């Protein structure tokens, strides 16, 4: 059986800087997989390469054996890999429901001629049902008519995930989903992510909040200075000497 999502020798070079250096790891289907590392380790760059924002200098991203590296973002998304963004990247001017409706773009592809004549009723109903389902999943259904920009921070993050969820993804890439959340919001968000995983969606997340990562992830990959450092369950990672050294700054890394 081919692996579900495999990162193989992924490299990204910005001029003279090796942001990601021959990184390899695999993500198992149906898991929550964390990607951690100190600031500047290249986590977000890795994310951007997997989701098609950057074209890797070399290396491959294999989804069920198919090389998806170097594809455009929307092409990657159409293969089932959907990402969310750091901060609250939303359609702030649109309503919450409309945000989720944009998320249904892939399962219910708009057709302009059908839309003019009015033959897309079923699609519109289907899209709205899916959008509402996504909102309900993240507990946002009561806010459907609100302007997305007016939501609280926690709700905005949840909406960002709802937009991704509405598109029926196989893998969701979450970029620092817990940033700026209070413990209560973090706890709720962790619950939502477990629900997401239990509904069959694989999650790959980048995060700094160690408590959340340790409590949530099935597998954790740690990277440092663009390189693979360690991989394992939360317990192994917590006690891994290389990881501790990377975070606390061992003598070798102090430049």
Partner 1 sequence: MLRAGIWILALAAFLALPHGLSFSQQEILVFLVINILLVASYRLLTLTGEWSLGHVVIMGVGAYASALYTKELGIAVPLSMLLGGLTAALVAVVLSFPLFRMKGFYFLIGSFAAGEIIRLLWKRFREPFGGAKGIKGIDPMPDFSVGFYRFDFFEPVSYYYFAGIVVGVCLWVLWRIEKSPVGLTFHAVHWQDKLAEASGVNLRAYRTLAFAIASGFAGISGALLAHYVGTINPNSFDVEVMVFVLTWAIVGGTATFYGPILGCIALTVLNEIVLRELGFEQMRPLIYGAILIASILFLPDGLESLVQKLLRRKAAPAKERVAE
Segment interacting with partner 1 (CB under 8 A) among 28-36, 85-93, 202-210, 214-222: 85-93
Q: What are phi and psi of 75, to 5 degrees?
A: -75, -40
- Interaction between residue 246 and partner 1 (CB under 8 A): no
Total of residues contacting partner 1 (CB under 8 A) = 37
Tokens of 46: 């890795």
Give 175's strand partners. 206
Regarding 125 and contact with partner 1 (CB under 8 A), the answer is no
Q: Does 66 bind partner 1 (CB under 8 A)?
A: no
Question: Which helix (H) or strand (E) element contains residue 100?
Answer: helix 96-103
Name the residue among 51, 52, 56 with its Cα closest to residue 8: 56
Q: Helix, strand, coil proportions of the chain in percent (round to 5)?
A: 40, 25, 35
Candidate list 9, 93, 136, 150; residue touching partner 1; CB under 8 A:
93
Please tell me the total number of residues recorded for the chain in this structure.
255
Candidates 20-28, 74-82, 182-190, 227-235: pick the segment binding partner 1 (CB under 8 A).
74-82
Query: Rounded to whole angstroms, how far apart are CA atoms 202 and 237?
Result: 20
Q: How far is the CB of 171 from partner 1 (least distance, A)?
A: 12
Q: Which residues form the interface with partner 1 (CB under 8 A)?
A: 51, 53, 72-74, 77-78, 82-85, 89-94, 98, 101-103, 105-106, 108, 110-112, 115-116, 118, 120, 123-124, 127, 163-164, 167
């Amino acid at each position: 059986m081919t692996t579900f999502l495999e990162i193989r020798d992924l490299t990204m070079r910005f001029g003279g800087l090796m942001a990601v250096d021959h990184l390899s790891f695999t993500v198992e289907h149906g898991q929550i997989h964390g990607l951690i590392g100190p600031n500047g380790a290249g986590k977000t760059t890795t994310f951007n390469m997997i989701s098609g924002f950057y074209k890797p200098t070399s290396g491959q991203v294999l989804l069920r054996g198919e090389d998806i590296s170097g594809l455009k973002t929307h092409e990657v998304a159409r293969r089932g890999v959907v990402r969310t963004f750091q901060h609250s990247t939303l359609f702030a001017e649109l309503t919450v429901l409309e945000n989720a409706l944009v998320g249904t773009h892939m399962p219910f592809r708009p057709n302009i001629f059908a839309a003019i004549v009015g033959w897309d009723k079923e699609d519109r109903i289907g899209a709205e049902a899916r959008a509402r389902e996504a909102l309900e999943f993240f507990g946002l259904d009561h806010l459907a008519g609100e302007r997305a920009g007016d939501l609280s921070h926690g709700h905005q993050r949840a909406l960002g995930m709802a937009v991704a969820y509405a598109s029926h993804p196989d893998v969701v890439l979450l970029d620092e989903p817990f940033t700026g959340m209070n413990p209560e919001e973090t706890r709720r968000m962790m619950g939502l992510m477990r629900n997401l995983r239990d509904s069959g969606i694989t999650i790959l997340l980048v995060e700094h909040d160690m408590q959340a990562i340790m409590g949530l992830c099935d597998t954790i990959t740690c990277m440092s200075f663009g390189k693979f450092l360690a991989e394992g369950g939360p317990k192994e990672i917590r006690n891994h000497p290389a990881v501790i050294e990377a975070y606390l700054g061992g003598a070798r890394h102090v430049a």
